[in-house]
């Protein structure tokens, strides 16, 4: 199964979902739709998922062109994006992210919904940069950061929009391990094979148990975050 930007490949019970728009892997509405369809397919295939990007970038976050235009398209994009981490969190089989390089904003929040995140060494930025570009950190995003990061790093990520290099991202909790770029997919594939030893029902039930409150919080927060975005849009649209 291949979309315009998201490619799906199934091999021996492992579904590799690759985002590649040839540029920054912006999470435009079409890309978010393709990602959801890919996860639908993977769930139907009962597959362990490897989610990855393109050379040097996992995802730079929401499509800023859509965001700047505002209106219903921007709100739909935000809704689909905010809902996606919860989809990943409750996916009933293991999810491994192979982060190819830069990961920013919504790209980060998608990435850290996985069960295991592998980063690669290089001159890359990992950042939740909302405050740096004039945005209050969305509630969904803050919940995801608290879910993964050590407390001090979470504070810096949210309030200071700190840029983390791969080594400091590992220490902060964005990554579970770091490898060289050439080793990224082979390591993810090897880990996916070890997941076959897990009891599928126990994995899914345990995941639901420890993440239920987080998923509920995300679902509740989506509406509040959309309301914030709508109010901000209306303020910007006022003359003078």
Give the three-state DSSP class for 166.
helix
Instruction: Provide DSSP, 30-90.
Output: HHHHHHHHHHHHHHHTT-EEEEE-BTEEEE--B-HHHHHH-HHHHHHHHHHHHHHHHHHHT
- Domain ranges in the chain are 6-197
Strand order in the sheet with 48-52: 6-11, 14-19, 48-52, 95-98, 116-120, 177-179
Global pTM value = 0.94
Q: How far apart are CA 117 and CA 98, in angstroms?
A: 6
| Homologous superfamily in CATH for domain 6-197 | 2-enoyl-CoA Hydratase; Chain A, domain 1 (3.90.226.10)
Per-residue pLDDT of the chain (240 residues; tens, 9 = 90+): 678 999 999 999 999 999 999 999 999 999 999 999 999 999 999 999 999 999 999 999 999 999 888 889 999 999 999 999 999 999 999 999 999 999 999 999 999 999 999 999 999 999 999 999 889 999 999 999 999 999 999 999 999 999 999 999 999 999 999 999 999 999 999 999 999 999 999 999 999 999 999 999 999 999 999 999 988 764 564 544
């Amino acid at each position: 199964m291949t979309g315009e930007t998201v490619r799906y490949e199934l091999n021996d019970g492992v579904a590799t979902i690759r985002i590649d728009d040839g540029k920054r892997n912006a999470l435009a509405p079409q890309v978010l739709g393709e990602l959801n369809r890919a996860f639908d397919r993977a769930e139907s295939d009962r597959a362990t998922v490897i989610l990855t990007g393109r050379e040097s970038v996992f995802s730079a976050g929401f499509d800023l062109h859509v965001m700047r235009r505002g209106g219903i398209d921007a709100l739909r994009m935000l809704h689909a994006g905010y809902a996606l981490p919860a989809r990943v969190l409750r996916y009933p089989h293991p999810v491994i992210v192979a982060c190819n390089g830069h990961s920013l904003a919504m790209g980060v929040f998608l990435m850290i919904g996985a069960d295991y995140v592998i980063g690669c060494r290089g001159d890359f930025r990992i950042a939740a940069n909302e405050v740096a570009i004039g945005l209050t950190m969305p509630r969904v995003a803050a919940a995801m950061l608290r879910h993964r990061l050590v407390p001090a790093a979470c504070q810096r990520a949210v309030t200071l929009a700190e840029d983390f290099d791969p080594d400091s991202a590992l220490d902060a909790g964005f990554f579970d391990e770091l490898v060289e770029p050439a080793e990224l997919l082979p390591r993810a594939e090897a880990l996916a094979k070890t997941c076959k030893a897990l009891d599928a029902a126990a994995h899914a039930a345990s995941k639901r148990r420890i993440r239920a409150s987080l998923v509920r919080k995300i679902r509740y927060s989506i509406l509040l975050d959309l309301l914030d975005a709508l109010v901000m849009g209306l303020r910007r649209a006022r003359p003078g």
